[in-house]
Structure 1
């Protein structure tokens, strides 16, 4: 038996063998991968595992080799690769029936649904994130949450926050920490803070990797390419993690979202939250703010930036966001 890299983008035959192997293991071959390995018995693929960023994915072992300790070999090889590339903290999805195996390899469960278990290993971990949140806890009872990418922060986002701030003593406003947007995480966080600084009951917080991230909800960043059933399973996991682990720490009883006429994946996410939250958390869906009968959206702002239609952007974003857009234009 030997372990070797599978070059999915170069070796079509190896990719086909890998894809068939995963399908036989009841897994869906994933396109979002940086690195893939296989364990071979001569030329027969008997185990595989992959990495995307700091997420272990697509791990499967041939059932007739289950007693050969192949899982720990694959996980160890992937860990070594992650450490070589500078990661000390990593995540993994698995099915409930196999979560025990990964627990024995040192992974800790963060959240679980009937279909998925989300686990991590390394530091800083989820417990550290909860400690960070507690430092910002306000001693209020009627608390709401909003989670946004804000790429960039628009008057539509500001409307959502303002409405939430009218209905809650404290609004915890989570800004995605994921680096998969035109505006980087640091800039988006800064623009949100500047945009809401006049609202004294709004606390702006990072999501780290625990809300709408490549780890919890990768389909969110694929939008139109995401398969609906995969997006729904991931959205349920993300909503479960928020409901069971994050909301209780900050005594959050409501979550505000905008209705979603534009993105099918975000619409699936809203539906998943409604189902998962049930009576435990109140999901409040507000109509989206419009200008000239058109919904204000960050994607519309980005499209106008491409067209260099800066006068049109002015009516869609707060002054602080407009200044940042003009600064980026100069660069």
Structure 2
């Protein structure tokens, strides 16, 4: 008889090994960065499992011998109930395309499907809501895009915006909504808006959960700790979602990025965009801005903040970002709000 119960993959080594084996057999990556995991057992043998992290269902797998037993549905319903008990009513899932019918029957709607991945969600506000909002921001027939974290907004970011503004009728600057950076989304958004205020043809918009997020591209935030093969898959999903769903709404035909000499994951992302866009969206790759022979980067800014190096901060930051940080932040080993 099948028994559903919670499992503790970070505490129980034997159970973690069984869990990892089940995932690997299904050709899934055993992502241990989860908040909650449940398993279904048959005579104490793990035959199905699923987890959630934040609002994302992940690591969902059923042993091939028991895929006719409706076990995946039981796991998903259990996880949704657990999330709803916590007040979370908007949930996402990455799964295999062949599982689409099961998730559709549970009320999930498709965001994107590729040969390898089906990305779905349930609850509101959803992707359709976001696309409708974006359509209301549309300013022209043809436009370009920049996607940035801006942690914080540097002269390098400003340089990229300047180039795009010269070559485009309209530029949309997407700021990552994900709060996995030194500066909060609200602070990064404020710095970007202040930094691009001089450009009449630039509009700043949030990415929400649909571009370079823990949903579409979680390895982006791991940088060089990320498995590159996994990063390549996620980068292609993110680039495909942008090309097929977001760009058409805003009439985007160009995307501007900077070369990436430091992060292998970001370089993987640039390569994925080149392959996925395949001429349908023109990818412009600019050499990174250098000042006094040094590449400008947000990493260097954060280090300068840590060292309270005002000379370097003024060199790397536009006046708007410098004034924002001067007004709002102190640095005492970590950034603290004044």
Q: Deviations over 1:183-211 (max 9, x none)?
A: 00111111100010000100000000000
**Residues 73 and 102 in structure 2, CA contact (< 8 A), matched pair in contact too:** no
Greater shift after overlay, 227-236 or 62-71? Answer: 62-71
- 2:275 paired with 1:275: yes
- 2:165 paired with 1:165: yes
| Residue 83 of structure 1: how far off its partner (Å) | 1.4
**Residues 83 and 89 in structure 2, CA contact (< 8 A), matched pair in contact too:** yes
**Residues 113 and 236 in structure 1, CA contact (< 8 A), matched pair in contact too:** no
Q: How far apart, in 1, do the equivalents of 2:247 and 2:115 lie?
A: 20
Tell me the equivalent position of 1:108: 109
Q: Deviations over 1:80-139 (max 9, x none)?
A: 12112221111111122222322222221111222211111111110000111011111x
Q: Deviations over 1:272-324 (max 9, x none)?
A: 00000002100000111011211111111112212222221111111221123
**Residues 48 and 71 in structure 2, CA contact (< 8 A), matched pair in contact too:** yes
Greater shift after overlay, 152-161 or 66-75? Answer: 66-75
Q: Unpaired runs of 5+ in structure 1?
A: none
Tell me the equivalent position of 1:302: 302
- 2:267 paired with 1:237: no
Tell me the equivalent position of 1:9: 10
Q: Unpaired runs of 5+ in structure 2?
A: 332-337
Count of aligned pairs between the two proteins: 330
Match of 2:306, SS state, is helix
Q: How far apart, in 2, do the equivalents of 1:201 and 1:323 lie?
A: 24
Tell me the equivalent position of 2:325: 325
TM-score normalized with structure 2 length: 0.95
Q: How far apart, in 1, do the equivalents of 2:34 and 2:278 lie?
A: 34
Tell me the equivalent position of 1:186: 186
**Residues 212 and 238 in structure 2, CA contact (< 8 A), matched pair in contact too:** yes
Tell me the equivalent position of 2:45: 44
**Residues 109 and 122 in structure 2, CA contact (< 8 A), matched pair in contact too:** yes
Match of 1:255, SS state, is strand
TM-score normalized with structure 1 length: 0.97
| Residue 16 of structure 1: how far off its partner (Å) | 0.8
Backbone CA RMSD of aligned residues: 1.2
- 2:299 paired with 1:262: no
Tell me the equivalent position of 1:204: 204
